[in-house]
Structure 1
Amino acid sequence: MQFKITTLVAKPLEQVFDGFDERLFVEMNPPFPFPRVRVLRFDGCRLRDEVHLQLCFLGFFRQSWISIITQKELNANEINFTDTGYTLPVFLRQWKHQHILQRTNGDKTLITDHVNFEAATWLPNWLLYPMLYLMFSFRKPIYRRFFK
């Protein structure tokens, strides 16, 4: 399954890309009832960089998540990079998250989170979809505040 969520922020493209760091990543930690996310390693957003996470459900059930930046493209008007899940929580079988940053008129940037995922065989995609969609929707006000 897949979905896209877009957010317009009031910063130029280069400043937005420079802001995609561990501090922003930690800031986007979703509120309860979503799992808490602990960043164990954050290399950055360059090709082959790794992000290692620990998801904590209900305070005691922990799951590892390792993603690697497998694709990165840049031109004068767009920067995009894709993190691909290699070690995923038990409820996911596949994960690709493309971050698309596009220059707009003026000094603004359109951020698009394009998520492709497959749930584990025992969990239907349609059950996981609303939870993931809400988690990424939660990023919109954070992006706006972070890049204002």
Structure 2
Amino acid sequence: MKILISTPIQKNFREVFAQFNLKLFEALKPPVVNLVVERFDGCKKGDEVHLKVAGQRWVSHITDYYESEDEIYFVDRGVIIPPPLKHWLHVHRIERTGNNMCNVVDDIEYSTGNAFMDKLIYPALYAMFSMRKSIYKRELS
């Protein structure tokens, strides 16, 4: 399944990317989810993020990083993810849309291995990532 959410931010895209740090990550934590950050290396290729989500271990590796004149993105791939998830790929993209304008894009691909279950958890995942829009605007503008 795919989730794609774009948030416009009135700021230079490089300045926005510079704020993708532990402070922002913790601000993005969904309020209804018990989430503890155990390790946060950063957003560059080779970095890792280790979490406890409702007592379950989650480990993501940053497997790709790209920077150009118009965008910066990094990819976090779930290496150890809690059930029912079996696949997690999250592309964090910051796209320049003007001199002091950009879009922060959460492009997520996930799977439980069961199409029915994928659709069943979609509304909860979509809601959690939609909540980021107001946080991005508050924290990044």
Q: TM-score range by the shorter chain?
A: over 0.9
Contact 1:90–1:120 (CA under 8 A) maintained in structure 2: no
What TM-score do the two structures reach when normalised by structure 2? 0.95
Partner of 1:55: 53
How much is the aligned-residue C-alpha RMSD, in angstroms? Answer: 1.3
Unpaired runs of at least 5, structure 1: 57-61
Alignment match of 2:117 (pick from 108, 111, 124): 124
Once residues 81 and 124 of structure 1 are traced to their aligned partners in structure 2, the CA distance between those partners, rounded to angstroms, is 27
**Superposed counterparts of 1:1-148, under 5 Å:** 1-32=1-32, 35-56=33-54, 62-121=55-114, 124-148=117-141
Q: Alpha-carbon deviations, 1:25-73, whole Å to 9, x = none?
A: 00011122xx2211000000000100000012xxxxx101000011111
Q: Which amino acid aligns with 1:41?
A: R
Change (3 A) 1:123 1:36: farther
Corresponding residue SS for 1:89: coil
Q: Which amino acid aligns with 1:17?
A: F
Unpaired runs of at least 5, structure 2: none
What TM-score do the two structures reach when normalised by structure 1? 0.91
Once residues 74 and 26 of structure 1 are traced to their aligned partners in structure 2, the CA distance between those partners, rounded to angstroms, is 24
Corresponding residue SS for 2:88: strand
Contact 1:93–1:121 (CA under 8 A) maintained in structure 2: no
Once residues 43 and 120 of structure 1 are traced to their aligned partners in structure 2, the CA distance between those partners, rounded to angstroms, is 29
Q: Which amino acid aligns with 2:88?
A: W
Change (3 A) 1:122 1:78: closer
Once residues 55 and 123 of structure 1 are traced to their aligned partners in structure 2, the CA distance between those partners, rounded to angstroms, is 23
Q: How many matched pairs?
A: 141
Contact 1:37–1:54 (CA under 8 A) maintained in structure 2: yes
Q: Alpha-carbon deviations, 1:61-101, whole Å to 9, x = none?
A: x1010000111111011001110000000110000000110
Q: Which amino acid aligns with 1:75?
A: S
Once residues 29 and 146 of structure 1 are traced to their aligned partners in structure 2, the CA distance between those partners, rounded to angstroms, is 13
Change (3 A) 1:122 1:133: closer
